[in-house]
């Protein structure tokens, strides 16, 4: 019998992976968590039947959400990741000379699942510089401050992550950042969710002095073209000099293209300026 996992990207579009084996499935307090062994994309983690990562292409998302803000900032020592319980973003952040990485994940079972089934993704979570808080990121940023970089590595704005896409939340993130602080959020696909991408950009622009979007190609996410939105308090990411340290050993991100990541495909630029 053929086994397939499909994500309904819209009511009318599905992305399907042929599955060798279902390795794990559970219903946590917050969501359905599943792990599959696929034929062509390695291991697949889904939350509520949405693709979070595959071991074949996760580096694209995790490198782009981490290295672009870290090198734009240039001197981040205290970093906060909201969501991201799989650990992929933390793994990339630890390539920088950071002192502390705080991970705020609402669902402990995501962390435990990743530790068990995705060792190459979760490997940084036991590093002594990392502290994990099993809390709601929305409440966490109201109480904790002093971050140089904050990364919002969330699921889609439905279910537990909904509040991570609100203007009030961006305001609290602003207050949790140091004077030269930078935030980056994963902000969905302009191909299928143009109105949402425009709204997020507008909301973040109302809070931050500089708001810049960049994109990456993620073959396993809806629309394949994905956006990240950076909010910055004082650093202008377009003019900031990018240092050449450290050696990041990346497969998608490259320093040579760093500045050009902020040059958007014209249809995306038009979308957010409307
Ligand atoms: N980032 C998940 C991005 C949203 C994907 N959406 C979807 N497949 N509909 C969190 C996982 C990576 N750390």
| pLDDT of 1 over the 90 cut | no
**What confidence score (pLDDT) does residue 181 get?**
98
CA 70 to ligand 1 center in whole angstroms: 20
- Name which residue sits closest to atom 11 of ligand 1, judged by CA: 52
Per the residue annotation, which of 107, 148, 153, 203 is the catalytic one? 153
Q: What is the pTM of this model?
A: 0.98
Give the pLDDT score at 246: 85
As a whole number of angstroms, the distance between CA 70 and CA 248 comes to 11
Q: Look at residue 64 in the predicted model and tell me its pLDDT.
A: 98
The pLDDT confidence band at residue 244, using thresholds 50, 70 and 90, is confident
Domains of the chain: 4-54 (2.30.140.10), 58-240+250-273 (3.40.50.150)
Rounded distance between C-alpha atoms, residue 255 and residue 260, angstroms: 10
pLDDT exceeds cutoff 90 at 160: no
Ligand 1 centroid vs 241 CA: distance in angstroms? 30
53 lines ligand 1 (CB under 6 A): yes
pLDDT single digits (tens) 247-256: 999 999 999 9
Give backbone dihedrals phi and psi of 183, rounded to 5 degrees, phi first.
-120, 145
Which residue matches tokens 């819209």?
Answer: 10
* Residue 53 structure tokens: 């990562």
Residues with Cβ within 8 Å of 225's Cβ and at least 6 positions away in sequence, in order, are 189, 190, 191, 215, 216, 217, 218, 265
**Using one digit for the tens of pLDDT, what is the confidence trace for 54-91?**
999 999 999 999 999 999 999 999 999 999 999 999 99
Q: Is 188 in the pocket of ligand 1 (CB under 6 A)?
A: no
Farthest-apart Cα atoms in the chain, separation: 58
- Catalytic-residue membership of 148: no
Inform me whether the pLDDT recorded for 145 exceeds 90: yes
Secondary structure element (H or E) that encloses residue 104, with its range: strand 100-104
pLDDT reading at 18 higher than 90 = yes
């Amino acid at each position: 019998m053929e086994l397939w996992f499909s994500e309904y990207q819209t009511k009318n579009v599905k992305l399907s992976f042929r599955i060798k084996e279902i390795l794990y499935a559970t219903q946590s307090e917050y969501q359905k968590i599943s792990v599959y062994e696929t034929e062509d994309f390695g291991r697949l983690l889904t939350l509520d039947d949405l693709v979070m990562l595959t071991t074949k292409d996760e580096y694209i998302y995790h490198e782009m959400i981490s290295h672009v803000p870290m090198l734009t900032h240039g001197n981040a020592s205290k970093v906060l990741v909201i969501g991201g319980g799989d650990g992929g973003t933390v793994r990339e952040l630890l390539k920088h000379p950071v002192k502390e990485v705080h991970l705020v994940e609402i669902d402990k079972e995501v962390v435990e699942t990743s530790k068990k089934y995705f060792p190459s993704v979760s490997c940084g979570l036991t590093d002594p510089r990392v502290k994990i808080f099993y809390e709601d990121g929305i409440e966490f940023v109201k109480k904790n401050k002093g971050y140089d970089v904050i990364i919002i590595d969330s699921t889609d704005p439905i279910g537990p992550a909904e509040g991570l896409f609100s203007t009030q939340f961006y305001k609290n993130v602003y207050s949790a950042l140091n004077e030269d602080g930078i935030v980056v959020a994963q902000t969905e696909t302009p191909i299928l969710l143009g109105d949402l991408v425009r709204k997020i950009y507008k909301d973040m622009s109302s809070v931050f002095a500089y708001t810049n979007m960049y994109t990456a190609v993620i073959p396993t996410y809806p629309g394949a073209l994905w956006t990240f939105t950076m909010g910055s308090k004082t650093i202008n990411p377009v003019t900031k000099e990018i240092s050449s340290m450290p050696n990041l050993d990346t497969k998608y991100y490259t320093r040579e293209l760093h500045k050009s990541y902020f040059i958007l495909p014209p249809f995306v630029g038009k979308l957010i300026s409307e």
